[in-house]
Amino acid sequence: MPPEVFDELCPSSLLPFRFGDTWAPMVLRCLDDGPRRYSALRVPPGRVIPKALARLLRRLERNGFVSRTVHADPKLRLEYALTPLGRGMLEPPAAACRWATEHWDELLDAREGGEGGGSPIG
C-alpha cells in the first residue's frame, strides 16, 4: 500500500464521510430539496439516534458541507441546509445508489451466502 494513503494530507482524509458512514450520505440527500429542521432530518433515516445525528450535523457543518441557521421562532429552531460544497457531494452517493440498483440481485445473493459467501454490505 502506498504510504501516502495514511498521510493526514491525503485527499481522502478530507471526505465528509467514509463508505461505512451510513448516515452522512442520507442526511446530505435529505437536504437536497432544501433546508430542513433538525426534527425533519430524523424522519427519513428514522433509525439514527438523536445524539449521533447531532454529532454528524456538527461534523458536516465544521467541514463546510452544511450550514446551520438558528431561528428566533421556536417552531423553526435549528434549520440545516446544504452549502455549495455540500451540494457538490450529492453525486458520489447517487452514483453508489445507481451501482447498487444495477447489482441488486448480486448483492442480495452475496448477502444470503450465495456466490462468494460474504456480506458485501453491513
Would you state the pLDDT for residue 7? Answer: 61
- Neighbouring CB atoms inside 10 A of 86's CB total 22
Q: What is the mean pLDDT of the chain?
A: 79
Which range, of 23-27, 81-85, 115-119, averages the lowest pLDDT?
Answer: 115-119
> For domain 3-111, which architecture applies?
Orthogonal Bundle (1.10)
Which of 9-23, 32-46, 56-70, 90-104 is the least confident region? Answer: 9-23
Task: Confirm whether pTM is higher than 0.95.
Answer: no
What whole-number distance in Å separates Cα of residue 11 and Cα of residue 59? 17
Domain segments of the chain as ranges: 3-111
Give the C-alpha distances (Å, rounded to integers) separating 104 from 59, 83, 92, 97, 120.
31, 32, 18, 10, 11
In sequence order, the β-bridge partners of residue 70 are: 78
**Residue 27 confidence class, pLDDT cut points 50, 70, 90:** confident
